[in-house]
Amino acid sequence: MSLQKAQTYIEDEVLYDHIGDVFKALKEYSLACKYWRKSLDMDPRQALVQQKIKESEKCVVSQSSHRLN
């Protein structure tokens, strides 16, 4: 993924936010949250990113419970 390659050159909260968005679109919610948390570490005032994490964490729990059944 080009965005992941970009992170080797720059660290930026917007870049991490976008990487999270891509992983969410791929239904890779754990990875999405990982990158959104990196974004929040750089700027904790991002309400939208905080909301994305909350919503995706629900999906992670849902996916886990489906796998157990």
pTM attached to this predicted model = 0.80
The residues, ordered by sequence, that sit 6+ positions from 26 with a Cβ below 8 Å of its Cβ are: none
The pLDDT of residue 5: 82
Query: 49-67 burial, b for 16+ CB within 10 Å, e for fewer?
Result: beebbeebeeeeeeeeeee
Give the per-residue pLDDT at 26: 95
Digit-coded pLDDT (tens) for 20-57: 999 999 999 999 999 999 999 999 999 999 999 999 98
